[in-house]
Chains A and B, each alone.
Chain A
Amino acid sequence: MAMSPERGFIGVPAYEAVPDFCGRCHIGVKEDYLLSAHGQAIAEGGANCVTCHGNHVVVKAGPEIINPEDCSQCHGYGQAGEIKAAIVKTDEMLASLAENLGFMGKKGIAVKSMESETFALRNDFRRLFHSVNVEKISNETADFQQRGMAIQQKIDAVQTELDQRKLIGGVVTGLLVLASLICFLIRKTYQQEEDGSS
């Protein structure tokens, strides 16, 4: 019953229908894919979503998907390495941005807008992976790096403020300890007077 077409069960989509199937949710990614060399070649057996991301155990978009073993089924053995080299540094930078923002969020810093910005940037960047054009990837990577740097600058500004807070906190703590010591010393002089008079 659960697999009844009347109840909406689709079953295994045809090879060329896979992008439409996945694109019901991943709308932007589908559009991007269809414009890429992979999408353009789907009628001739070009890679569809499942070729790289798998089906039930879906592999998230990331540099690890691009590897000579899988890609060399259609492309030259060296091409995967070239594309990977063009994207890996930027992808790492974006991953590190997300990680730093996660740490800051755990300290009560409002990072939601920066996190959304980084998330969107990372998604957009990973869509580039659909393209098999190394030159295009290299050109567009520079723009992503710049946008990533802009977020990094915001993080740095917050970090600078956090460091300044610690500096001020250290000074205030030191002054309070000093005030405490001075009061103890004054008390000592009173104690000497008390001992002398008794």
Chain B
Amino acid sequence: MLERLYHFLEVRLGIRDILEQNLTKYLLPNNVNIWYTLGAVLITLFVTQFITGILLLVYYVPNPAEAFQSVERIMNEVPYGWLIRYLHAVGSNVIVIALLLHMLSVLFMGSYKKPRELTWVSGFILLNLSFALCLTGYLLPWSQLSFWATTVATDAAGAVPVIGDALVRFLRGGAMVGDATLGRFFALHVMVLPAMLAGLVGFHLFCVRRIGISRPPFGEDYRPAEVKGYFHHEEHPGGIPFFPNYAIKDMAVIFFFLAGLVYLVFFAPGLFIPPSAFEPADPFTTPEHIKPEWYFLWAYQTLKIFPSEFLGLAVQGLVMTGLALLPFIDRGSERRPGRRPLFIACYILGILLFVGISVWGHYS
């Protein structure tokens, strides 16, 4: 039966050729390293988010009067509801970790350089879309934590000159975080942002496949590839087949990340879900210390370091724009870290700043 189906598809679509070209005859550089597996890890994690998100949608009620109770019901009454919710909530944090590692590895190996600018830009937008998904999803349980964290986050937009107040009202759908905010965040979280993310992931993978995977800039025989003035797919003759040789490494790292996710879900969900996440939102009681999620702490603290919030916001905007346009700023063809001391110094300083300001934000 399966053989007949295969034959049917083979005659009409030539699937043998597609599979060969993308699996067994798809050759990767000989020195491809473990950091190249993070893309596969991220796809797995995004699929997990999609599945758990759909399951949560079955029971979640996007209405301030019922949202908290519906999440409480998911946690306590729906069979394995707690597991699905924790996989979704903790999984979003693991995705951010994987995204940051992916970005850092691409930066370190200079893989963002010409002709891979579009891959980088689409990846950077994906990172920001993921942040937007985290922010919008944070409000949905309508807990004290989500209500006040969203109030603080949307309040930051008020620092933009002239249109600040209007921007805050637009984000919230009113003067305060309320019904309208939950409605628009819900729509963004379950429909708009996932659709954009799916489309952009497709484009990102298309770019990776179309231009060819970059060779890691390590080893004595490495030389920067010559960038031509026309389209050229980078081949790796004599390289290792993607399937099964490298796919098994993808699987190894995917299992490793899933083990970490399951461990966090079962043993330390409190790392990402503090007690205030289990108290219903109360617009009349402001908690003492409202802090955003760990990956927004740097932005939160930056707003406090500078004398005005606008200045802080402007610095954040500059950093993010600089990163987005990096391939157009750093245009040299050299990718070997040892031969890019200035870039690597900025890279290390950047990581230290991110960690330092985040820790400062946590304890401030």
Contact = CB atoms under 8 A, between A and B. Distances in A.
Interface of A: 105-110, 165-166, 168-170, 172-173, 176-177, 179-181, 183-184, 186-187, 190, 194, 198
Tell me whether chain A's interface is mostly helix, strand or loop, or mixed. helix
B192 interface: no
A98 to B, nearest CB: 16
A134 to B, nearest CB: 41
A106 B82 CA distance: 14
A173 B259 contact: yes
A194 B263 CA distance: 35
Contacts of B237: none
Contacts, number: 73
A99 to B, nearest CB: 14
A181 B253 CA distance: 9
B6 interface: no
Contacts of A169: 262-263, 265-267
A193 B358 CA distance: 45
Contacts of B328: none
B75 interface: yes
A168 B266 contact: yes
Contacts of B244: 190
B30 A198 contact: yes
A107 B270 CA distance: 7
B278 A107 contact: yes
Given A187-B248, A198-B238, A180 B255 contact: yes
11 contacts: A108-B278, A110-B72, A110-B75, A170-B266, A177-B255, A183-B252, A184-B249, A187-B248, A187-B249, A198-B30, A198-B238
A196 B72 CA distance: 58
A177 B256 contact: yes
Contacts of B277: 108
Q: Which 4 A-B pairs have the closest CB atoms?
A: A169-B266, A183-B252, A176-B259, A180-B255
B273 interface: yes
Contacts of A180: 252-253, 255-256, 259
A180 B262 CA distance: 14
B258 interface: yes
A110 B74 CA distance: 10
A176 B278 CA distance: 30
Given A170-B266, A183-B249, 17 more contacts: A105-B275, A105-B278, A106-B278, A169-B263, A169-B267, A172-B266, A173-B262, A173-B266, A177-B256, A180-B252, A180-B253, A183-B248, A183-B251, A187-B245, A190-B245, A190-B248, A194-B245
B85 to A, nearest CB: 8
B59 to A, nearest CB: 14
A190 B238 CA distance: 15
Nearest to B256: A180
A108 B141 CA distance: 12
B33 interface: no
A110 B255 contact: no
Contacts of B72: 108, 110
B240 interface: yes
